[in-house]
Amino acid sequence: MSVFTTLSLDEVRLWLAPFNVGELQTLRGIAAGITNTNYFVETSESRFVLTVFEKNDFDELPYFVHLMTHLSQHGIQCPSPIVDKEGVALHRIHGKPALMVSCLRGSDVSQPNLTQIEAVAQTLARMHLAGMAFHEQSHNQRGQGWRVMTAQQVMPKLAPVQQHLLQEELQFQHGLDLSGLPHGVIHGDLFRDNVLFDGNVLGGFIDFYYACHDVLAYDVAIAVNEWCVDANGVFVDDKLAVFMNAYHAVRPFTAEEKSFWPALLRRAALRFWLSRLYDFYYPVVGELTHAKDPAHFERVLLNRQALT
Ligand SMILES: Nc1ncnc2c1ncn2[C@@H]1O[C@H](COP(=O)(O)OP(=O)(O)O)[C@@H](O)[C@H]1O
Ligand SMILES: N[C@@H](CCOP(=O)(O)O)C(=O)O
């Protein structure tokens, strides 16, 4: 149960006072999720999700609030931040930053079908286009600097063959010049647990807290490495074809994106191999962890290298 900050009905009723959202009726902690505390908040007018940020400083949150506001105003299915009567969305509760957003329909799917995969790809491409008109920029917290630092931390824990793989891939990625590729807003973590579906209808993308300004096709690579694979991380042809066709129908890749595509698939695999290795070897003491298998992304990386 990932409710780190326990809230009472009375506290939330008080917290809601500056908002124009009706009377609080029910409050329910959300078990899923590993980073923040989330509650479903039901009022006489609507349903919302209240997030209490357990790790972020207040100052780093406006980018995400503005981004979700921008994307939802541009028709991208994602949480829409709720502002109070003064127009302010970000507040504090228990001294921690807190944000209420619209509640999306649906739940995450572990075995997506082709229709759902198509919807994810279309929405991702539309999000990339909508992001072009968003003029705030945030750097990628999981970019080059983080890769190097994290690799140094996990390297001593690895077997020689893994050390070689990691070293080789870091060098390869460091040598790439991606400056000519289209950049913009990326989600950065579009995994199956970050997309909600009501049947085949996409409820929306959630968890924008890795969103940043980066290479758009890299975001596509992150998504296909997750949505279009079998249990071993090997691409399933029809899933990959459906995803790429749907994405390209909305935002076709440039020639440069096509030529860097195999390298981007590798970069996306490396990013999640590294974060999972770090979480595996340096678990936070006392923190509830949903262990994610680093070996999966090691296999994905080896597979994508073989495709290059
Ligand atoms: N806007 C939303 N609408 C509906 N459900 C949501 C929304 N935001 C989060 N949830 C639910 O809360 C769960 C945890 O959210 P998530 O953002 O993944 O948390 P964490 O940042 O802690 O990983 C999701 O799996 C989903 O079920
Ligand atoms: N979706 C990721 C987890 C998010 O990245 P992290 O850097 O917070 O570990 C995964 O499945 O590994």
Q: What local confidence, expressed as pLDDT, does residue 34 receive?
A: 75
Report which bound ligand comes closest to the CA of 78: 1
Q: Record the tokens describing residue 189, joined without a space.
A: 């973590």
Cα atoms found within 13 Å of the Cα of residue 17, Cβ hemisphere only: 7
ipTM of the complex: 0.93
Q: What local confidence, expressed as pLDDT, does residue 21 receive?
A: 98
**Stretch 21-27: mean pLDDT:** 97
Q: What local confidence, expressed as pLDDT, does residue 1 receive?
A: 45
Please give the distance, rounded to the nearest whole angstrom, from the Cα atom of residue 172 to the centre of ligand 1. 35
pTM, to two decimals:
0.96
Please give the distance, rounded to the nearest whole angstrom, from the Cα atom of residue 33 to the centre of ligand 2. 11
Q: Please state the domain extents for the chain.
A: 9-102, 114-307
For 207-252, how does the pLDDT look when each residue is reduced to its tens digit (9 = 90+)? 999 999 999 999 999 999 999 999 999 999 999 999 999 999 999 9
What average pLDDT does the chain have? 96
Shortest CA distance to 36 belongs to which of 79, 98, 85, 80?
Answer: 98
Q: Dihedral of CA 170/174/178/183: which sign?
A: positive
Answer whether residue 114 shows pLDDT above 90.
yes
For 1-16, how does the pLDDT look when each residue is reduced to its tens digit (9 = 90+)? 467 899 999 999 999 9
Residue 99 Cβ contacting ligand 1 at under 6 Å: no
Report which bound ligand comes closest to the CA of 193: 1
Please give the distance, rounded to the nearest whole angstrom, from the Cα atom of residue 218 to the centre of ligand 2. 15
Please give the distance, rounded to the nearest whole angstrom, from the Cα atom of residue 193 to the centre of ligand 1. 8
Q: What local confidence, expressed as pLDDT, does residue 288 receive?
A: 55
Residue 191 Cβ contacting ligand 2 at under 6 Å: yes
Q: pLDDT-derived band of residue 272, with 50, 70 and 90 as boundaries?
A: very high
Please give the distance, rounded to the nearest whole angstrom, from the Cα atom of residue 207 to the centre of ligand 1. 7
In the chain, what percentage of residues exceed pLDDT 70?
97
Residue 272 Cβ contacting ligand 2 at under 6 Å: yes
Q: What local confidence, expressed as pLDDT, does residue 286 receive?
A: 56
Which residues are CB-neighbours of 159 under 8 A, at least 6 positions away?
Answer: none
Q: What local confidence, expressed as pLDDT, does residue 273 receive?
A: 98
Q: Ligand 2: which of 53, 56, 292 to mutate, most ligand atoms within 8 Å of CB? A: 292
For 92-112, how does the pLDDT look when each residue is reduced to its tens digit (9 = 90+)? 999 999 999 999 999 999 999
Tell me the β-bridge partners of 98: 52, 91
Q: pLDDT-derived band of residue 287, with 50, 70 and 90 as boundaries?
A: low
**Stretch 46-69: mean pLDDT:** 96
Superfamily name with CATH number, domain 9-102: Phosphorylase Kinase; domain 1 (3.30.200.20)
Residue 189 Cβ contacting ligand 2 at under 6 Å: yes
**Ligand 2 atom having least distance to the Cα of 226:** 11
Answer whether residue 128 shows pLDDT above 80.
yes
Please give the distance, rounded to the nearest whole angstrom, from the Cα atom of residue 23 to the centre of ligand 2. 36
* CATH number for the domain running over 114-307: 3.90.1200.10
DSSP H or E stretch at residue 98 = strand 96-102
